[in-house]
Amino acid sequence: MVMDVGERDGDGEDGGWENMGEDNGTKSPTDLVDETVSMIEYVARFGDYRRAQRKECYNLARRMKILLPFFDEIRHHGSPISHTCVASLSRLKKAIRLAMKLLKTCNEGSKIHLALESEAIMIKFHNAYVKLTQALEELPFDELEVSDEVREQIELMLTQLTRAKKRTDTQDIELAVDLMAVSSKTDERNADIAIVERLAKKLDLHTVEDLKIETIAVKKLSKERGSTAESLQQIIQLLNKFKQVLGMEITNVLDDTDTPQKLSKCHSLVIPHEFLCPITLEIMRDPVIVASGQTFERESIQKWFDSNHRTCPKTRQTLAHLSVAPNYALKNLITQWCEKNNFHLPKKEDQASSRKFFVDHEDEISCLVEQLSSSQLEVQRKAVKNIRVLSKENPETRVLIAKHGAIPRLVKLLSYPDSKIQEHAVTALLNLSIDESNKRLITDEHAIPAIIEVLQNGSMESKENSAAALFSLSMLDENKVTIALENGIPPLVDLLQDGTIRGKRDAVTALFSLSLNQLNKVRAIEAGIVPPLMLLLEDKKLGMVDEALSILLLLATHAEGRHEMGQLSFIQTLVDIIKDGTPKNKECATSVLLELSSNNYSHILAALQFGVYEHLVEIAESGTNRAQRKANGLLQLMSKSEQIP
């Protein structure tokens, strides 16, 4: 499923670019310039880009165009160009070619594939920025007699590229949760139709024509990536779900090619880039998030910190703190991928022998599970701790632990007065719930009320892991209802209000998933979810503006939610975000304001008084595709209500 952007060009519709760029030393300066300019002009002819990478694509294409005046001056260079200059131009051409191929992929590729690979594609953009920066910094400007004006433009471009390399985008929690929810369903248990519809709209795959084009892109992908049949099936399943929503006929996407037979016989796998630790480039067993928002293997980042580093290894920015938070969403995705593809995570060489012994010997796991019911406190405590550790990293062990009856015993321990036993038990259940079948076993043991009890009264770490467990269990739609009926929403709101940063993030993720259910929106509003969400909007340092806006957008579809949000101070906050936020912030805030204003013209007037109009015009011209639609919708509402200044 990993895309080697820069390795293949496709079927050659680009006029043979796949044969250009490997200079053999015989290229003349004129040929180098002409071919490089042709590549930039080729990029300029691209239409729209795929939703997940649109902002980066437009920025990169714009920066490439900045170089055209430079090449024009080289064309008119009077004196002969030295071999050193030719070598520099050749390196620049290769960097341009890498960028062009990346943009071509984002222009033509499967939208579903690019969304699933969004983090890997961002790594490709980072690599393109690095290559362009290196090539531009090595240019001998004086020898090439580049004018001061053009040189200043290139120096500005270098500054922009440096800034782009340091930038870390806020996670699109709505897209990530929706992809997880839809992808985790089996053929017999279709995803919530509302999730499928929303995901289709976010990926711009909500018309018959969109899906026809996507089908062609998936067929092309199957030809290029014949060795990744397993990942292709996930893409095809999503594509078919989108087709079902529109009532289209479901056919085998690969029927008219020879690809299916080849794919069915191929068992080689490529690990998705986003599953690899940026430090070791190995698949992560225990992914954690650092203050910069980047994810690393826990052991690797800890060694980095132990070496007196206080920066993010990926972005190089100084970290505000050295605390890490488990990335349960990514870990869940890695585990599901491993289980689906029968991929065994490599054992750590220094792993304790007792742990390996338990993993490899079923009878010893059985003994460990029996000890969960021991009358001796220390035996119980040690057993539940070992179960927690074992359940964390091995898919087969999770199944084995459940098989030997650990789940009902762990559920009983949730009400145990010993706080450490309680903490280990709820975390073990969280780890076990990563397995889809275990989710149902945990639910059948009536664990949800006990987990909610821990969420209300446990230690802070127990509360955090309880919130994460409820999020994991809420992937089953029926559990969204059960959690709400068992009064699980109020303590999640309390954690959102008073928890640590990690606790707030666990709570906001669980609350977003629960609020996908229409009735739960009312329950969340009655539990007082709106005020802490507004605090998240005001405290930018927490880095959860998009997450808060995503939930507020869900709540704004309900009358009670609109009533809670319809304060002048909140409208002003939305306008401030529309004015000064990130592109994603602006998109979400504009969506919320449109939802509110569609039901109450007074909100339009209030927003206008706070100066929203000029910012909406700017977004309508240069915002993300979705933001442009929402901004235009607001401008039309203003026109109808005769409130345009």
Q: What is the pLDDT of residue 639?
A: 82
Lowest mean pLDDT among 176-185, 236-245, 355-364: 355-364
Tell me the β-bridge partners of 433. Answer: none
Q: Which of 52-56, 178-182, 558-562 has the highest mean pLDDT?
A: 558-562
Interval 231-242 mean pLDDT:
80
Burial of 546 (0-12, 13-18, 19+ CB in 10 A): buried
Q: In terms of pLDDT, which residue wins out, 461 or 224?
A: 461
For range 30-54, the mean pLDDT: 78
Residue 346 has pLDDT above 70, yes or no: no
> For residue 470, what pLDDT is reported?
93
Q: What is the pLDDT of residues 564-579, one digit of tens each?
A: 887 878 889 999 999 9
Q: Residue 84 above 50 pLDDT?
A: yes
* Higher pLDDT, residue 550 or 122: 550
Q: Residue 473: what residue type?
A: L
Distance CA 405, CA 187 (A): 28
**pLDDT reading at 482 higher than 90:** yes
Q: From 232, 80, 51, select the one nearest 143 (Cα to Cα).
A: 80
* pLDDT value at 229 more than 60: no
Classify each residue of 45-75 as buried b or exposed e, where b means 16 or more C-beta atoms within 10 Å of its C-beta. Answer: ebeebbbbbbbbbbbbbebbeebbebbebbe
454 pLDDT higher than 50: yes
Tokens at residue 294, please? 């980047």
DSSP 44-77: HT-----GGGHHHHHHHHHHHHTTHHHHHHHHT-
Q: Could you count the other beta carbons within 10 Å of the beta carbon of residue 558?
A: 17
pLDDT digits (tens, 9 = 90+) for 380-395: 889 888 888 888 765 6
Question: Highest mean pLDDT: which of 253-267, 309-323, 487-501?
Answer: 487-501
CB of 402 closer than 8 Å to CB of 438: yes
The most confident of the ranges 27-31, 178-182, 196-200, 541-545 is 541-545
- pLDDT score at 400: 86
Spatial separation of the C-alpha atoms in residues 159 and 298, rounded to whole Å: 33
pLDDT-based confidence at 629, cuts 50/70/90? confident
**Res. 124 pLDDT band, cuts 50 70 90:** confident
For all residues of the chain together, what is the average pLDDT?
79
- CA torsion, ordered 532, 538, 543, 549, to nearest 10 deg: 60
Alpha-carbon distance values, 41 to 154, 172, 298, 472, 599 (Å)? 18, 32, 44, 48, 46
pLDDT at 316: 67
**Mean of pLDDT values over 516-544:** 89
Q: What is the pTM of this model?
A: 0.50
**Cα separation, 312 vs 322, whole angstroms:** 10
- How far from 217 is each of 213, 244, 377, 572, 591, CA to CA, in Å? 6, 19, 59, 43, 29
Alpha carbon distance 164, 125 (integer Å): 9
Residues paired with residue 8 on neighbouring β-strands, in sequence order? 5
Asked whether 372 and 411 are in contact (CB, 8 A), the reply is no
Amino acid (one-letter) located at 635: L
Model pLDDT, residue 194? 58
User: Regarding predicted confidence, which is higher, 38 or 26?
Assistant: 38
Q: State residue 165's pLDDT score.
A: 65
Per DSSP, the three-state class of 290 is coil
Q: In what order do the strands lie in the sheet with 287-289?
A: 295-297, 287-289, 325-326
Summarize pLDDT for 286-305 with one digit per residue, the tens. Answer: 899 988 888 988 888 888 78
- What is the pLDDT, as a whole number, of residue 76? 72
> Across residues 358-380, what is the average pLDDT?
79
Across residues 121-131, what is the average pLDDT?
86
Which of the pair, 153 or 473, is modelled with greater confidence? Answer: 473
Q: Is the pLDDT of residue 317 over 70?
A: yes
Percent of the chain topping pLDDT 70 = 81
Higher pLDDT: 171 or 221? It is 221
The pLDDT score that the predictor gives to residue 274 is 79
Q: Which of the 8 DSSP states describes residue 257?
A: S
475 has a pLDDT exceeding 60: yes
Distance CA 501, CA 409 (A): 31
478-483: list long-range contacts, CB under 8 Å, 24+ apart: 478/443, 479/439, 479/443, 479/448, 480/513, 480/514, 480/516, 480/517, 480/520, 481/517, 481/519, 481/520, 482/443, 482/448, 483/448, 483/452, 483/514
| Per-residue DSSP letter, 19 | G
Give the helix/strand (H/E) hosting 399.
Answer: helix 395-403
Q: Give the mean model confidence (pLDDT) for residues 181-187.
A: 50
